[in-house]
Amino acid sequence: MLSLAVTSIIGTIVPQNGNPAAYKQQYGEVFYNLFNRLGIFDMYHCWWFQVMLIMLTLNITVCSIQRLSKTWKIIFPTQLSFNRSRFQKRANREEFQNQGALEQLRKEYESFLNQQIGHSIVERTKKGFCVFAEKMRWTRLGVYFVHLSVILLLLGGLIGSLFGFNGSVNIAEGEAADAIWVRNSHEKRQLPFTIRCDDFDVSFYDTGAPREFRSTLTLLENGEPVLTENIIVNDPLRYKGINMFQASYGQLPPEAPKIDPDMEVSLNLLSRESGMQYQRKTKIGQVVELPEGKGKFVIKEFQPSLEFGNMKLGETFIGLLTPSQGEETKVILPVKYARFDTMRKGAIVISITNDAEDFHAGHDHTVRYYTGLQVNSDPGVWVVYAGFLIMIIGCYITFFMSHQQVCIEVIKSGKNNRVFISGITNKNKLSMQNKIKKLAQSLKHVSKQEEL
């Protein structure tokens, strides 16, 4: 009955193992596209995925416990015992003959197995004796280590998704941030400290590919700097369980040039009526009387790079014209395009006669960067790492170490002794066979020495 139950459980293993893979493959691609378009792809928090992980965890746990409770007694017997008839059926059984007193042989073989395998026990039979030894019984636990590690990984992932967070923040050089944007959501999350980006540097190879991004970060607590460190890709900063990674960078739009408000602006005024040109000097905010009694004009503001429709006008003044009769109109005066104002079809065409360079004064030419940091905290990561370690060790034990049992049986037949040696292993029968062959060789050797 139990075996039936076990086989039905085993029946679920293969689809169990196949399904998550197929799921991930199918949903993975679809969601990946979604992620690209909508940025909402978050496999870890997908409900069906979590359910599947929990099912998987339960399955392994139940299976392993069931198995383990059955095999525990085999693995840790209270008393070492063995079944002679099992060894007699082995295909790897080797036989040879020798002479000698049984008692003498027993002593020799016992110490031989003690030396070669492990602690040996002797059983007397009707016509002789058996010596039995085994080693690495515990390696049968390897599988459970592997399964435990799988559970740890899932558990660690769960802890991470419940108690951790993951987000990003862009900080301009010289500025600071104390909150981050949580990934795939529009929430902000407060950090227990403030990150200030003191400096950002990017270096390039001669091919133009980026070589290194480096941010100098200072962490501040209650306004007091506590730590200053450089971070680069692959070398994050960790503080109070929160990790800061160099993830990206970017350029800030150049700062608006501050022109001197008292700067002199030269205007050229062309009267359509008379065809006369007039020169005037003015300043921002200073009212100019237009010639021929055409009204008043004042420059309101300066735009370092104005876009008009899809034209880039560059340095541009914006003014307000108050004609002697009629409504006020806005006047756009790009420094580079002197004829721009003709389009307005006004009575006076206004243009700026300064050079564009005159207004570069105060323009900050150095490029400013911002650093893109990924900031996260994952309390589950150590559980996951423990899982990794146990998985590697467990796989190694499961695959490459085996429980080995060896039995030497001696049967007295007439003057001679028939000696049998055979071994049982739970894995790697071939190497056991070779081992038995080798043991048989050295056994012959052992007894020959004694004969001389």
Regarding 39 and contact with other proteins (CB under 8 A), the answer is no
Regarding 447 and contact with other proteins (CB under 8 A), the answer is no
Calculate the alpha carbon distances from 92 to 105, 129, 432, 450 in Å: 22, 20, 8, 26
At its nearest, how many Å lie between ligand HEM and the CB of residue 48? 17
Query: Binding string to other proteins for residues 52 to 81, with x set by CB under 8 A, is what?
Result: ------------------------------
Choosing from 77, 174, 192, 210, the residue that interacts with other proteins (CB under 8 A) is: 210
Of 140-159, binders to other proteins (CB under 8 A) are 143, 157
Query: Binding string to ligand HEM for residues 14 to 53, with x set by CB under 6 A, is what?
Result: --xx------------------------------------
At its nearest, how many Å lie between ligand HEM and the CB of residue 153? 8
Beta carbon nearer to ligand HEM, 146 or 313? 146
Name the binder of 376 from other proteins, ligand HEM, none, CB < 5-8 A by kind.
other proteins
Name the binder of 255 from ligand HEM, other proteins, none, CB < 5-8 A by kind.
none
Stretch that binds other proteins, among 25-33, 172-180, 268-276, 325-333 (CB under 8 A): 25-33
Size of the site for ligand HEM (CB under 6 A): 18
Choosing from 52, 55, 56, 182, the residue that interacts with ligand HEM (CB under 6 A) is: 56
Q: Is the separation of the CB atoms in 58 and 396 below 8 Å? A: no
Regarding 13 and contact with ligand HEM (CB under 6 A), the answer is yes
Regarding 155 and contact with ligand HEM (CB under 6 A), the answer is no
Choosing from 48, 205, 415, 451, the residue that interacts with other proteins (CB under 8 A) is: 205
Residues that bind ligand HEM (CB under 6 A): 6, 9-10, 13, 16-17, 56, 59-60, 63, 66-67, 143, 146-147, 150, 395, 398
Residues that bind other proteins (CB under 8 A): 10, 13-14, 17-18, 20-21, 24-25, 28-29, 32, 36, 41, 43, 143, 157, 166, 205-207, 209-213, 232-236, 243, 245-247, 374-376, 378, 381, 384-385, 388, 391-392, 395-396, 399-400, 430
